[in-house]
C-alpha cells in the first residue's frame, strides 16, 4: 500500500522566496524516495527571473472545457485513500504531503485563480459606479459571483501545486456596455451606432514562493483604469473526512479614476466527503473596506451544520462606517441565487448560474514558454484525460524532482530566488508594473 511522501529536504527560504538569510543547513538525501530521476525528458525552463513578452494577438479563445465529473477514479482507489487517511492525524499540515495523482484536477492553481474572473463584465463595471456606495455594492456583487465558475464540475479535485517560477497568462475581451448619451435618436433610424472595440482585461499569475506556497496574481483593464493585486498562501490541513484550505493573504482593488482602494480577504475552502463524492464548501468571514469612501462590507460564507441547514449559504452587509448605517444586505447561495435588499425597499435577484460566462483567451501551448502552466503540466494533463494515472504520476514526479534539484543547486551556489513579475513588499507581493504606479502604462507592453 502507498505511504505518505514528504517533499524534502527543506531548503533555506532565500533560495525559495528571498524571505530570509542563508544559515547553516544540512541535507538528508535519504529522505527522497526512489532515488534521483533522469530529468532529460522535460524541456528546460528559464527560471531566471526575466519578464516575458506576451503578444495579445497570439491569444485565442479558450477551448478547454473539461469538467471534473468522473467518480470512477475516486471509487476505484477508495482503499488507497483509506490507507493514506490512516497515516494522517487531525489538524496535520498537508502542505508537504504528496497526495495521490488521481485526485488531481486538470489545471494548475494559477489557472484556477484566473477562472474566478469568468464574469469580467461585472469586474470592469465596478469602475462605472455612480457613487462610493454604488461602487462598493458592485464590488460585493462581483466578489460573490466569482467563485461559482471558478469550480470545474461537481466533483472536488485538487489543482496542481504550482512549481516556483511557474506563470499563467490570459486575457478577456469584454463587450462595452452601451452609453445612453451616445445612442442614436429614435427619430433617426438610419443612424447606426458604431461598433465599439471591446475592453481588454489582462491577467498574470506567478508562483513566487515554494515554502510557504504563495501565489501572486494581478489583473487590469487599462481603459477603465481598474486593477487588482492579490497574494495568497494556501495552507491545507486534515480534518477527518474533510480537507480544509486556508487562503491566507490579501487583495487590493484599485479604481484610479476615483482614487479608491478596496482591500479584501478570502474565504476558507473545504473538500468534504473525501471517501465518497467529494464536494467543495466555502466558509468563514471576508472583510472588504475602502478607507477613502468610508464604506465596508462583511461577507459570511456559512458551512452547513451537521443536522439541517442549507448548503453554500452566504450573507453580506454593506455599511457606511461613519453612520454605521447598513445600505445593502445580501442573502442566498454563492453558487445559486443571491438576493440584494436595499434600504429603499428595492430588491434585486442575481442567479449566478445564468450569468454569461466570458471565455478567457490563452496562447496555444506551442507559443507558451516552458514555465507557463499549461505547457509545464501538459503531459500530466494529457495522461489524466486518458485516465492513465500511472503515466500522470510519473510526469508529475519528474516535475517535482526537477524542482527539488534546482533548489539544491541554488543552495549549493548560494543563489537567491528571483521572481519575474512580483516584488516582495512587507508581508505581501506586489505586481512590478501596476496601473497605480504608472497610469500611462499600456497593457500592450511586457506583461
Half-sphere exposure of 358 (CA within 13 A, CB side): 24
For residue 174, give the nearest of 437, 447, 443 by alpha carbon: 443
Handedness of CA 9, 12, 18, 19 (dihedral sign): positive
> Is residue 263 within 8 Å of residue 289, measured between CB atoms?
yes
Question: For residues 264 and 119, what is the distance between their CA atoms, to the nearest angstrom?
Answer: 18
Domains and CATH numbers, the chain: 63-176+198-283+358-382+416-431 (2.40.160)
**Per residue of the chain (447 residues), what is the pLDDT tens digit?**
444 343 333 434 433 444 433 232 233 332 222 233 333 355 655 555 677 778 888 899 998 766 655 555 555 566 666 666 777 778 777 776 766 777 788 999 999 999 989 999 999 999 999 999 999 999 999 999 999 887 766 677 889 999 999 999 999 999 987 654 445 545 555 655 567 889 999 999 999 998 889 999 999 999 999 999 999 999 888 877 788 899 999 999 999 999 999 999 999 999 888 777 788 899 999 999 999 999 999 999 999 887 777 899 999 999 999 999 999 999 999 999 999 999 989 999 999 999 999 999 999 999 999 999 999 999 999 999 998 989 999 999 999 999 889 989 988 998 888 999 999 999 899 999 999 887 554 444 445
Non-local (6+) Cβ contacts of 115 within 8 A are 107, 149, 150, 152, 360
| Orientation angle between helical segments 378-385 and 389-413, nearest 10 degrees | 160
For residue 42, what is its C-alpha cell? 522535460
For residue 416, give the nearest of 33, 43, 28, 11 by alpha carbon: 11
First to last CA, the chain: 46
For residue 362, what is its C-alpha cell? 490563452
CA angle, residues 159, 161, 163, in degrees to nearest 5: 140
Residue-by-residue DSSP string for 201-247: EEEEEEEEETTTTEEEEEEEETTTTEEEEEEEEEEEEE-SS-EEEEE
Taking the model in full, what pTM does it have? 0.82
> Is residue 232 within 8 Å of residue 247, measured between CB atoms?
yes
Amino acid at each position: 500500500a502507498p505511504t505518505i511522501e514528504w517533499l524534502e529536504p527543506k531548503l533555506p527560504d532565500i533560495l525559495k522566496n528571498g524571505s530570509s538569510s542563508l544559515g547553516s543547513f544540512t541535507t538528508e538525501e535519504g529522505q527522497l524516495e526512489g532515488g534521483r530521476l533522469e530529468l532529460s525528458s522535460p524541456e528546460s525552463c528559464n527560471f531566471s527571473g526575466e519578464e516575458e513578452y506576451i503578444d495579445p494577438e497570439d491569444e485565442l479563445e479558450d477551448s478547454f472545457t473539461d469538467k471534473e465529473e468522473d467518480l470512477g477514479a475516486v471509487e476505484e482507489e477508495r482503499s488507497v485513500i483509506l490507507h493514506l487517511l490512516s497515516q494522517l492525524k487531525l489538524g496535520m499540515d498537508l502542505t508537504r504531503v504528496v497526495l495521490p495523482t488521481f485526485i488531481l484536477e486538470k489545471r494548475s492553481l494559477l489557472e484556477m485563480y484566473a477562472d474566478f474572473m469568468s464574469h469580467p463584465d461585472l469586474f470592469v463595471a465596478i469602475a462605472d459606479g455612480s457613487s462610493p456606495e454604488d461602487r462598493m455594492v458592485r464590488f460585493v456583487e462581483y466578489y460573490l459571483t466569482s467563485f461559482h465558475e471558478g469550480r470545474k464540475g461537481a466533483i472536488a479535485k485538487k489543482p496542481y501545486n504550482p512549481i516556483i517560477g511557474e506563470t499563467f497568462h490570459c486575457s478577456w475581451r469584454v463587450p462595452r456596455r452601451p452609453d445612453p448619451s451616445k445612442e442614436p435618436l429614435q427619430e433617426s433610424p438610419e443612424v447606426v451606432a458604431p461598433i465599439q472595440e471591446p475592453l481588454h482585461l489582462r491577467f498574470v499569475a506567478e508562483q513566487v514562493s515554494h515554502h510557504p506556497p504563495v501565489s501572486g496574481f494581478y489583473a487590469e483593464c487599462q481603459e477603465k483604469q481598474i486593477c487588482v493585486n492579490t497574494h495568497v498562501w494556501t495552507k491545507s490541513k486534515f480534518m477527518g473526512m474533510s480537507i480544509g484550505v486556508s487562503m491566507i493573504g490579501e487583495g487590493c482593488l484599485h479604481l484610479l479614476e476615483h482614487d479608491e482602494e478596496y482591500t479584501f480577504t478570502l474565504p476558507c475552502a473545504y473538500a468534504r466527503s473525501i471517501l465518497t463524492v467529494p464536494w467543495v464548501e466555502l466558509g468563514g468571514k471576508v472583510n472588504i473596506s475602502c478607507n477613502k469612501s468610508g464604506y465596508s462590507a462583511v461577507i459570511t460564507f456559512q458551512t452547513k451544520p451537521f443536522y439541517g441547514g442549507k448548503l453554500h449559504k452566504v450573507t453580506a452587509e454593506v455599511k457606511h462606517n461613519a453612520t454605521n448605517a447598513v445600505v445593502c444586505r445580501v442573502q442566498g447561495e454563492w453558487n445559486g441565487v443571491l438576493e440584494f435588499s436595499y434600504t429603499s425597499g428595492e430588491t434585486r435577484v442575481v442567479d449566478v448560474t445564468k450569468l454569461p460566462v466570458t471565455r478567457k483567451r490563452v496562447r496555444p501551448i506551442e507559443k507558451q514558454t516552458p514555465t507557463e502552466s499549461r505547457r509545464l503540466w501538459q503531459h500530466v494533463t494529457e495522461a489524466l484525460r486518458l485516465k492513465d494515472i500511472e503515466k500522470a504520476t510519473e510526469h508529475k514526479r519528474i516535475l517535482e524532482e526537477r524542482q527539488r534539484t534546482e533548489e539544491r543547486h541554488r543552495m549549493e551556489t548560494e543563489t537567491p530566488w528571483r521572481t519575474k513579475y512580483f516584488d516582495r513588499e512587507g508581508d505581501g507581493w506586489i505586481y512590478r508594473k501596476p496601473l497605480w504606479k504608472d497610469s500611462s502604462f499600456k497593457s500592450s507592453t511586457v506583461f
